[in-house]
Amino acid sequence: MRLERLPRRKPVGITSLIDVIFLLLLFFMLASSFTRYQALPVTSGASGAGEGERPMLLRVHDAQRWDINGESVAPDKLGERLTAIAAAAEGNKRQVAVWTGADASTQDVVDAMVAVRGAGLDAVVVTGR
């Protein structure tokens, strides 16, 4: 009786497995973001908008055309204008309604909201079409 030898199995090479794991690790490290997102507080139109005086209207038409209550203002001068308006308010809570035009990008609106908060104005009401 002749015994048949079982075929020997080839050893599993783990070199390719290590390469795949390394590539996955590299992909996830490059695809992830480690930046911290900052929260920007926003109030809605229903939260106290009917109380007191009307809010100022800050219109963001596009990246270069902005105006406050109908008066044109350059985007780089917005902070100065809002700080002057906040100083003139003398402790009264002032609300600012940010109106977004059709050509305004999200970054333009966020820049406007940061400028409003940086000027010390209390409430930001975001409106749009």
Domains of the chain as residue ranges with CATH: 56-128 (3.30.420.270)
Given a cut of 60, is residue 83 above it in pLDDT?
yes
- 49 falls in which pLDDT band (50, 70, 90)? very low
Given a cut of 90, is residue 25 above it in pLDDT?
yes
The token pair at 73 is 């203002």
Local structure of 23: helix, strand or coil: helix
pTM as predicted: 0.57
Supply the pLDDT for residue 82: 85
Q: Are 55 and 49 in contact (CB under 8 A)?
A: yes
Residue 72's alpha-carbon distances to 57, 67, 116, in angstroms, are 12, 4, 16
Given a cut of 50, is residue 124 above it in pLDDT?
yes
Helix H or strand E segment including 100: strand 95-100
Burial of 108 (0-12, 13-18, 19+ CB in 10 A): buried
